[in-house]
Amino acid sequence: MDEYYMRQALTIAQYARGRTSPNPMVGAVIVQAGHIVGQGWHRLAGTPHAEIHALAQAGELAKGATIYVTLEPCSHHGRTGPCTDALLKAGVKKVVVAMTDPNPKVAGNGLARLKAAGIEVVEGVLAAEAAKLNEVFIKWISTGLPFASLKTAMSLDGKIAAYTGHSKWITSSAAREYVHTLRDTHDAILVGIGTLLADDPQLTTRLPAGGKNPLRIIVDSMARTPLTANVVKDQQSQTVIAVSRSAPKEKITALQKSGVEVLLLEQTPLGLNLRQLYKILGERQISSILVEGGAAVNASLLAENLIDKVYSFIAPKIVGGKNAPGPVGGMGVSAVDQAIMLEDIHTHTIGSDILISGYVTGREGRDVYRTCGRIRDN
């Protein structure tokens, strides 16, 4: 029964996907005498936590009840008060949690306080599922870097455009709409200057029901972004352009006057210091990035161990052409057995296309749940 109620808590936690950043998604279910009497989920950073919503719904029925929570209740004062205080005041008898909170401000303190007050505490129910639910939060709070998802779209023969550069559209409208759902749930979207110059993308979320526009990030070492570009002239979302210190000062000034933010980054042998960029974004509480290319940026991020998850769309088309580009540029590996591998693979059909998703093997993002030390390996 513990797993049954915890699954319910995990399900409702997902209602706020993409809306709680930089906080985790959390669900809570209160059970009294075999019946659910209250449930809630964290809806937006800075607003009441899941436990508070569930307690409000349960009212007096929370006394002597069991609460199932997908993440350890907090015990510190942030933008809201400690959930442990609310649970003690309500008189719950038992607290069942999926996983402890990797946030150093919590990290077991909430459970310790409940135990000290005589509350029965059960830990680790569906811990692996809870960790996967909050993979973005766990990566960010544990490393200070955002969780990065790489999206690619290519033909059956691995081309992202014809040899002329024409690329609209490789995938179906259904696949493109799915990409907009990804944009809606990420804090930021990142492309390179090559993609911007070729496609002049808007980098906004355009779903039938609307959606959240992510922060737009352009990797543009020499500040070549035109002032007429969509990401400059339209103000639907904030734009950040990452440039090198070698970029012409007059171009930087012109971009700044147009209302975009320009970040000066150091250079590495591979180009701009993208890890420095991630660190700056992480400090700004950007916990997730959707990378949409192009080939040069994709190669650099993979080489620098800065991609955690991959979404690869494959369209049933053959483009051909030895000069037609693929999704990842750079030198590549010298032998196939050196290729970057994915694990935990999932395959879906979306419209006429196939989506393959998976996690980069042995990288920070995939291993971070295990390094928390309190989550069993799945």
φ, ψ (nearest 5 deg) of residue 347: -125, 130
- Among residues 201, 190, 257, 192, the alpha carbon closest in space to that of 221 is found at 192
Q: Which residues does 308 contact at the CB level (< 8 Å), separation at least 6? A: 135, 139, 147, 148, 149, 359, 360, 363, 364, 365, 366
177 is catalytic: no
List per-residue pLDDT tens for the chain, 378 residues long: 999 999 999 999 999 999 999 999 999 999 999 999 999 999 998 899 999 999 999 999 999 999 999 999 988 666 667 899 999 999 999 999 999 999 888 888 999 999 999 999 999 999 999 999 999 999 999 999 999 999 999 999 999 999 998 888 899 999 999 999 999 999 999 999 999 999 999 999 999 998 999 999 999 999 999 999 999 999 889 999 999 999 999 999 999 999 999 999 999 887 899 999 999 999 999 999 999 988 999 999 999 999 999 999 999 999 999 999 999 998 898 999 999 999 999 999 999 999 999 999 975 545 555 544 344 333
Contact 372, 102 (CB under 8 A): yes
Q: How much is the pLDDT for 294? A: 86
SS3 286: coil
- Among residues 62, 21, 22, 18, the alpha carbon closest in space to that of 40 is found at 62
Residue carrying the six token digits 């998850």: 309
* Alpha-helical regions (H) of the chain: 2-13, 50-58, 83-90, 109-116, 127-133, 135-143, 173-185, 193-199, 230-233, 249-257, 274-283, 295-303, 364-371
User: What pairing do the DSSP bridges indicate for beta strands 309-315 and 66-69?
Assistant: unpaired
Q: How much is the pLDDT for 77? A: 62
Q: How much is the pLDDT for 377? A: 38
Q: Which residues does 143 contact at the CB level (< 8 Å), separation at least 6? A: 282, 364, 368
Tell me the residue type at 263.
L
* Beta strands across the sheet bearing 27-32: 35-41, 27-32, 66-69, 94-97, 120-122
Q: How much is the pLDDT for 376? A: 38
Q: How much is the pLDDT for 371? A: 47
**Which residue among 51, 72, 292, 364 is the active-site one?**
51
